[in-house]
Amino acid sequence: MSNLPRHVAIIMDGNGRWAQQRGQARMRGHERGAEVVRDVMTFAARHDEIEALTLYAFSTENWKRPKAEVEFLMKLLERYLKKELDVYLKNNVRFHAIGDLSKFSDTLRSLIKHTEKATQHCTGLRHNLALNYGAKDEIVRAANMLKKRGDAITVESLEAALDASESVDLLIRTGGDHRLSNFLLWQCAYAELFFTRTLWPDFTPQELQTIIHQFKSVERRFGGL
């Protein structure tokens, strides 16, 4: 039986380089990247085998970027959530933000919660958007939560306390780099890793389908024979 890409995770890399190659400001690359998020999310929602899609949108390390770029990304996220709510509802997609949202403005946190609440009845694709997310931070927060509750820390209890507890089947990174960049380290313990040189703004549902086809031919042993 072939592998099923039930949980697909993507590190969306290359927005800035895409814009610079065209002599444009980095912000234009981020705007185009947001359009690709919609295309890929819609494709995943209509794919019979994909149950969850997790996209790395803003990491705990991205605050180190220039202030103007960070502020632009926050405004872009606000515009995306307002604009795409109808797309989520039309495609029966449940939206969920993962990461430490406490660092965001009250306005942005409220908008995130509104989108989650408005789509909580959707029964199709589960779309996780990683915002101010870092896997190390996620694991520490989960461990501290269990400690505060007085619960024993086991593999099962820690996994249940994570922002996203589902194991990743297929992890894709665009942009040509070969690293995980602190993304879903726990969930990717046995994920199949695929790297493409395609910059995120040029990534298409067709390339995603090609990668899924390749993924299905991989023998997954999970430590066994």
Question: At residue 122, what are phi and psi to the nearest 5 degrees?
Answer: -70, 140
The predicted pLDDT at position 208 comes to 98
Residues 6 or more apart from 57 whose CB is under 8 A from it? 12, 37, 77, 129, 130, 131, 133
Structure tokens at 90: 């039309």
On the question of pLDDT at 133 being above 80, the answer is yes
Give the percent of the chain with pLDDT over 70.
98
The predicted pLDDT at position 220 comes to 80
Nearest Cα to 170, choosing from 1, 39, 44, 7? 7
Burial 186-198 (b: 16+ CB within 10 A, else e): bbbeebbebbbeb
How far apart are alpha carbons 104 and 208 in whole angstroms? 31
Residue-wise pLDDT for 120-131, tens only, equals 999 999 999 999
Q: What are the Cα distances from residue 46, in Å, to 24, 78, 102, 128? A: 33, 25, 33, 16
The whole-number average pLDDT for the span 141-162 is 96
The whole-number average pLDDT for the span 83-92 is 97
Residue-wise pLDDT for 40-83, tens only, equals 999 999 999 999 999 999 999 999 999 999 999 999 999 999 99
The model's confidence at residue 222, banded by pLDDT at 50, 70 and 90, is confident
The predicted pLDDT at position 219 comes to 81
Mean pLDDT of the chain: 96
The model's confidence at residue 137, banded by pLDDT at 50, 70 and 90, is very high
Which residues does the annotation mark as catalytic? 13, 62
The predicted pLDDT at position 225 comes to 57
Question: At residue 67, what are phi and psi to the nearest 5 degrees?
Answer: -55, -40
The model's confidence at residue 28, banded by pLDDT at 50, 70 and 90, is very high
The model's confidence at residue 221, banded by pLDDT at 50, 70 and 90, is confident
On the question of pLDDT at 224 being above 70, the answer is no
The predicted pLDDT at position 84 comes to 95
Structure tokens at 47: 């794919």
What CATH architecture is 7-133+166-215? 3-Layer(aba) Sandwich (3.40)
How far apart are alpha carbons 111 and 211 in whole angstroms? 33
